[in-house]
Amino acid sequence: MAAFNESRHPLDRRQLIMYRTLGEMPANPSMHLCAHLYASDRNSLYIVSNHLNMGDTWTQMASLAHTVIFHTEMQDLWFSERRGGGGDERWYIKEDSTDRVTNGRGTYRSRVFSPSGVHVASVLQDGMIRLTKGPQATEEEVKFIRATQDSWPLRETLNESQTDCTTLPYETQTGPSIFTLFETSVFAHRLPPTFLNRTQMLDARLEADEPARWTGVKEILRLGPP
C-alpha cells in the first residue's frame, strides 16, 4: 500500500491485511467467530503509528478498548472447509485506518470483508500512543514531531461529514495545515489548555463507505464479484 498512501494524509491512508485459517476448524460457530476476533487485533495500533510516519519512534503503546461488531449471518463468517495444500482457500481481508489521534491516544478502525466482498464486521480500538520519553516533550522531540507533521500531505477534500467546524479557512491556509493532528506535547502526559481547546475543532472523520474504491481493490486482489 506504499504507493497508495504516499501522497495521502494519515487519515486517508489504508492498510490491507488478508487472513485465513490453517489446520482444521471445528464445526462450532463460536470458534469461527473467535478466529475473526483474534485476527481483528493484528498490528492494529502499529498501523496507526505507521500511517503517521512514526512507526519507529513511539515510546509507549497500549490497547485501552477493543470492539468488534459482526454485521452478517454465520454463512458469511464461516471459514471454508475446502482446503488446499496450505489451508483454507478463502481469504478474508481487513481494511485498516485511523480517524482520530490526539492527547496521547489514537483510534484504530477496520472493516472486514468476506471473500465475496461482503462487509461482515467492523472494528474500533482506542489505544495509547506516546512519542515522548518523559512527562514533557524535549526540544528534540518537539522538532521531530513538528517536522513529521509538516511532511504530511494536505487532505484533498474536507466536507461537513468530516469535521465539526466547517468555517475554518482550509483552502486559504498557508504553511502547516490547520488540520494537522499534533501540538508540542501531544504525546506527553500533560497537555496545555490551548491544545485541548483546539482539538475540539478537529474531529475529522472518514466517509461512511467508499464502494467505488473498494470495488477497485477487489478487482486488484481478484477476490471475486461483490
Strand pairing partners for 214?
A: none
Which domains are seen in the chain, by residue range?
2-221 (3.10.129.10)
CB neighbours of 163 closer than 8 A, spacing ≥ 6? 179, 201, 202, 203, 204, 205
Q: How far apart are CA 200 and CA 194, in angstroms?
A: 10
Strand boundaries in the chain, DSSP class E: 15-19, 60-70, 92-97, 101-102, 105-113, 119-130
Say whether 222 sits in a helix, a strand or coil: coil
> Residue 79: its pLDDT value, please?
87
pLDDT tens readout for residues 105-136? 999 999 999 988 999 999 999 999 988 888 78
> Residue 210: its pLDDT value, please?
44
Q: How far apart are CA 217 and CA 215, in angstroms?
A: 5
- Residue 186: exposed, middle, or buried by beta-carbon count in 10 A (0-12, 13-18, 19+)? buried
Question: Nearest to residue 66, comparing CAs of 21, 122, 10, 129?
Answer: 122
Residue whose entry in the numeric block shows the C-alpha cell 478502525: 109
pLDDT tens readout for residues 47-106? 999 999 998 888 899 999 999 999 999 999 998 765 555 555 778 999 999 998 888 899
Q: Is the pTM of this model over 0.85?
A: no
